[in-house]
Amino acid sequence: MWKKMLRFLAVLMIFMQILTVNTYQAGQLKQTLIIEVDSDPYQVKEEIEAYHPFIEVVAVYDIVFEGLAVEGKAEQLAKLGSIEQVKALHQVQTYQTMPQQADNADVIEKMDSSEPEPYDLNTTALTGRNVKVGVIDTGIDYNHPDLQKNYQGGYDFVDFDEDPMETTPEEGHPTTHGTHVAGIIAGNGDIRGIAPDAEIYAYRALGPGGTGSSVQVLAAIEKAIEDEMDIINLSLGNDVNVPDYPTSRAVNRASELGIIVVIANGNSGPDAWTVGSPATADQSVSVGASTTPQKEPVLADTFAEKEIPLLEALGAERWELEDSYQLVDMDNMEPGQSLQGKIALAKRKEIPFFEMALQAENMGAEALIIYNSEPGPLQASVDNNRQPVTIPVASIQMEEGEWLQSQIRQGIYFIDAVQKESLLTIAPFSSRGPVAVQWAIKPDVSAPGSAIWSTVPGGYQAMNGTSMASPHVAGAFAVLKEAHPDWTNKQLIGALKTTAQPFEEQETRLPATTQGMGLIQLDEAMDTPAIIYDPQLEFGKLNGYQEEFTETVTIENKTAEAQTYYFDMPERKDGLVWSIPQSFTIQPEEQKEITVKLSMNRERLEEGVHEGWLTLKEGKRSYALPYIIVNQEADQPKTAGFEFYLEPFENADYTYQFHLTEFVKSFNVSLYHPETLLFERKLLEEEELEAGTHEGVLRKEEAGASGYYLALITAELENGEIEQVETMIFIE
């Protein structure tokens, strides 16, 4: 639990750092803020430049909202309080690319034709021609031979010039992410993207190491709108499951102005409530990641009816063994015993993995299996600067290793090395919904995101992540838009959702908060006989004893004949009573609004989140509509987004802000020494707070001594339960 808490707070720091995008100049701390104004932001810019020469206006926003990004020292920013047009300020947030390294992570110069490519998802003859796709990311290697034809321009919001090239090693921690994303969308060479003739525009908002701020992301969204993009892809985000202030509004504003905004759902699965902003924006199309058809190495003992999955080590040869092998315990070998032609088994030790691998290799082993010395999975790496490892190396969990060891102790033991077809399902790393407070179903759809080959500077590479799933959907929209230039964005989005194929495991459909509507089916969406608008039924939260909830669904008949539809009655569940039309007819090319009612009794239903699926039928066709409703309480994070910073317009007080997803009896923040973890003092204490955003002010003397602190945030819920999270804060 403690490790899970620390992991959550590590990503919380990425989302809401107390002093983000800070730089040091001559030992003086500078701070960047986003300011909202209630008049022409360019006039405010002129006033700042005329009367506050030591403050730099970093960016001006007049499309997504009216405001500016400014940078300066605290005492300089404090003077902006005299400007009457200023109505609100926002701390700058940090955004990060979200790829995970694939098992085979090496960059290759030429693609193997046997590897699947993104275009395999597009079985149509269309290629996204004349559709403009903006990639807000780390930039693009526009010199890559697979991207030269499609790259049309862009802008760099890290260096503020018209050269959105990826970060090179000379400039800092190099990046490859944006090039990989662009190749999935519109690669046109050895890699064929989903829409290989789409026009790609690069907006570099993330710099060295794939990190950037809301200043750059907002500016990139504005520029994409100005450049009249048809589609924007954002394979970036954070893990805080609450509405995301200016960036979320920018996403929704871009949607209102006619752009389809596709966003990666996040890589913090498989737990619920892990979808991160800005994928939580209600007008975004957020994308979860599915696995891809591939073979996975396993050990199989048919006599014992046991299979053991192998996790390949980074830096080792691919595990492609398919035969029966003797397994030998390398830690307890008999004198003179040979490993020639055998698989070695060894327990994790203090020595490096590559030394264990080289030892097994030198003894003639065909491969090495390392089992963990503690419960849980083990990701090994044999990368080293001494000598490459030339045999396959894999890891297994402690329990499995001890079982194999027990078999070896009984005598000579053979086991089968098998390449097993992997189950096509949602990738375990893919973030899950729902969205806290709004109780919304996210992701919206899913797409391939595991071991995806695409372009990178210098060649090609496989990556995992919802970052890879999102551009599949962006490319799919480009193809759909070419096929149906007269369709509205709502029709395009509705078609892709309507025709998605839900995942099932052991004949049970996965929840929609895991997969959205399911895996996109581009060919089906191209010629769908019906479009269901907003098919996710989000009924909300029951607070009273019994309530009736209503959702409306609009269905469009895209055929030339009248069609009659009907719902299968949903599975009966005590405490839920449905009122659904038995059947209805829609005329050709017409739309009809259908009302679905759900009555819920809180005493006859367990507390928490309840979700399921309704089935709509027309002839032999069926359509899946997911629903979600919350009975009284849910297990979502109760606190998030704690900010604590020096009030720039006063230069005397600290402003704090946090978000609650439900009523709490008490809320307090205690400070601890970040290294010794000794208690220092209590910073804040409040009682009986309602759900929503809370903010306040602390005087400098109340904040206490300066320095960095580990802040333990404790919330007592109405039922007496305690929730605690941690973050770091800085007091000047």
Q: Has domain 295-409 been given CATH number 3.40.50.1820?
A: no
Contact assessment for residue 266 and residue 279, using Cβ atoms and an 8 Å cutoff: yes
Q: What is the mean pLDDT of residues 556-566?
A: 97
Alpha-carbon distance of 335 to 343, in angstroms, equals 17
Range from 517-531, 545-559, 664-678 carrying the lowest mean pLDDT: 664-678
- Report which of residues 572 and 170 the model is more confident about: 170
Q: What is the mean pLDDT of the chain?
A: 87
With cut-offs at 50, 70 and 90, classify the pLDDT of residue 88. Answer: confident
**598: which strand partners?**
549, 578
Contact assessment for residue 289 and residue 516, using Cβ atoms and an 8 Å cutoff: no
User: In percent, how much of the chain has pLDDT > 70?
Assistant: 91
Return the number of other C-beta atoms located less than 10 Å from residue 186's C-beta: 32
Domains 295-409 and 638-732 share a fold: no
With cut-offs at 50, 70 and 90, classify the pLDDT of residue 32. Answer: confident
Alpha-carbon distance of 368 to 316, in angstroms, equals 10
With cut-offs at 50, 70 and 90, classify the pLDDT of residue 2. Answer: very low
- Length in residues, the chain: 732
The token duo for 732 is 């000047």
Q: What is the mean pLDDT of residues 543-562?
A: 94
Fold classification of 101-292+426-505 is: Rossmann fold (3.40.50)
DSSP state of 435: B
Alpha-carbon distance of 452 to 122, in angstroms, equals 15
Return the number of other C-beta atoms located less than 10 Å from residue 311's C-beta: 18
CATH, domain 529-631, list 2.60.40.10, 1.10.10.10, 3.40.50.720, 3.40.462.10: 2.60.40.10
Q: Is the dihedral of CA 269, 274, 278, 281 positive or negative?
A: positive
Return the number of other C-beta atoms located less than 10 Å from residue 676's C-beta: 9
- By annotation, the residues acting in catalysis are 137, 177, 467
Tens-digit pLDDT profile for residues 449-479 = 998 999 999 999 999 999 999 999 999 999 9
- Domain extent listing, the chain: 12-92, 101-292+426-505, 295-409, 529-631, 638-732
Residue type, 147: L
pLDDT of residue 98: 67
pLDDT of residue 306: 93
In this predicted structure, the answer to whether residue 11 has a pLDDT above a threshold of 50 is no
Tens-digit pLDDT profile for residues 238-277 = 656 655 567 788 899 999 999 999 999 988 888 888 888 7
Query: How many Cα atoms occupy the beta-carbon half-sphere of 327 within 13 Å?
Result: 25
pLDDT of residue 407: 95
Q: CATH assignment of 638-732?
A: 2.60.40.10
Q: CATH assignment of 12-92?
A: 3.30.70.80
